[in-house]
Structure 1
Amino acid sequence: MGSAAMANTQPTRRQRGSIRPDGAGFQVRVYAGSDPLTKKPLHLHEQAATLPEAEKARTRLLAKVDEQRHSKGKIMVAKVLDRWMDVARIEESPA
């Protein structure tokens, strides 16, 4: 067998998150799951001036996702309160 047969056959692991040039710097984007109400995908974003800063930002955002320290949706507090008030009114209604 030649050296080609001894090549690394393990699949490469796909990198989480993305870094792309954006204006004068880089935009970092990391998938954070889906919104529990709308089911739309959620992404965390951060802007960085240099590529090394962008790598650090991606690591920081991935840690937030892994520790579940990010918001789970983009629903507004007013919308949540409106829904709660609807439920509260129903519970107060006489039977």
Structure 2
Amino acid sequence: MDVETALRQIDAANDKHVGGAGYERQREAYESTLREVERVGGGDAVEELTAWVCEFIRGEERRPDEDAVDDRAARRLDERGEEVPPDSHLAG
């Protein structure tokens, strides 16, 4: 999955379950994280993270904060055997 498709799916979940207040700032952070995930782990990793974000939004009726998304991304990349570069904002 590419980042643009991922963002459209997150947008749709957000619009249906949460609404727009404060979303633009979070969307920018999600995009940054998704681009880094794509760079490190490819489209399958983007798809996996997108599914998690959308499920979180549907289940909690709120958006996950940026740190939670970054942590989830870094953990899943590690579990997939992907090496997160030390200069990445996902490196911990």
Query: Is the radius of gyration larger for structure 1 or structure 2?
Result: 1
Higher relative contact order structure (alpha carbons within 8 Å, sequence separation ≥ 6): 2
TM over 0.5, shorter chain: no
Superposition TM-score, scaled by structure 2 size: 0.36
Superposition TM-score, scaled by structure 1 size: 0.35
